[in-house]
Amino acid sequence: MTLDSLFEKLKHPNPNIRQVAQFEIAEQRDENTIPQLMANLENEDMVYRRASVKTLGAIGHDSVPSLIKTLVTSDDATVKASCAKALAQVAVMHADKDFPQEGIEGLRQGVKDDNPVVHISSVMALGAIGNPALEVLIESLESTENVAVGVAVLNALGGIKDERAKQKLIQFSEDTSADPYLQETAVSALSRWEMIVKFARDRADR
């Protein structure tokens, strides 16, 4: 099947057909594949755009330079958020590989974006990356005055099995001078962190 016909299948209403096409495109890609997928991030067809995001994720680390460049230079918030979501897909689909540092640095800039869709998507991507992005998440939490960013970061920390994440959640959960919503979020995220760690420990003991 040609790449052109596979790209058409990214528009298919059946998600299973789209998923098969995503991985086949990743396997058969040529020098035009990533530029074409990047161009699709501007497409008004939401199904096609989201399928293109997942395909960039399936391709993996080779997608990162293009995604970061567009994330930090585009004027389109939807495109920038799509880049952040694609970077999250790269992290999830290729969790066995170290995430490129340039990707983490680009997402650091994304967290500072004025548009809420962009900065929340960037925080979620950093959360998907996990431990390698922990310092950037903590730095963002300590420097931001945006409550929405703070909430997103605290929730992201709740999913990272690292003592530094736990200590930061404890700090915010006990800080009575913090925004009440942030404190409440920290309490909830800390509980989730403890459940995740316990689950991982129980599995390891089996």
Tell me the per-residue pLDDT of 39-58, one tens digit each, with 9 for 90 and over.
Answer: 999 999 999 999 999 999 99
pTM, rounded to two decimals: 0.92
> What pLDDT does residue 127 have?
97
Q: How many structural domains does the chain have?
A: 2
Say yes or no: 160 and 202 in one domain: yes
pLDDT digits (tens, 9 = 90+) for 113-152: 999 999 999 999 999 999 999 999 999 999 999 999 999 9
Say yes or no: 70 and 156 in one domain: no
Which secondary-structure segment (H or E) carries 31? none
> What pLDDT does residue 198 have?
87
Say yes or no: 42 and 101 in one domain: yes
The model's confidence at residue 197, banded by pLDDT at 50, 70 and 90, is confident
Chosen domain end from 95, 129, 163 = 129
> What pLDDT does residue 202 have?
77
Say yes or no: 8 and 107 in one domain: yes
Say yes or no: 94 and 142 in one domain: no
Q: What is the CATH number of the domain that holds 115?
A: 1.25.10.10
User: What residues make up the domain containing 168?
Assistant: 133-206
Chosen domain end from 110, 129, 148 = 129
Which residues, other chains included, contact 192 with Cβ-Cβ below 8 Å and sequence gap of 6+? 158, 159
Say yes or no: 115 and 139 in one domain: no
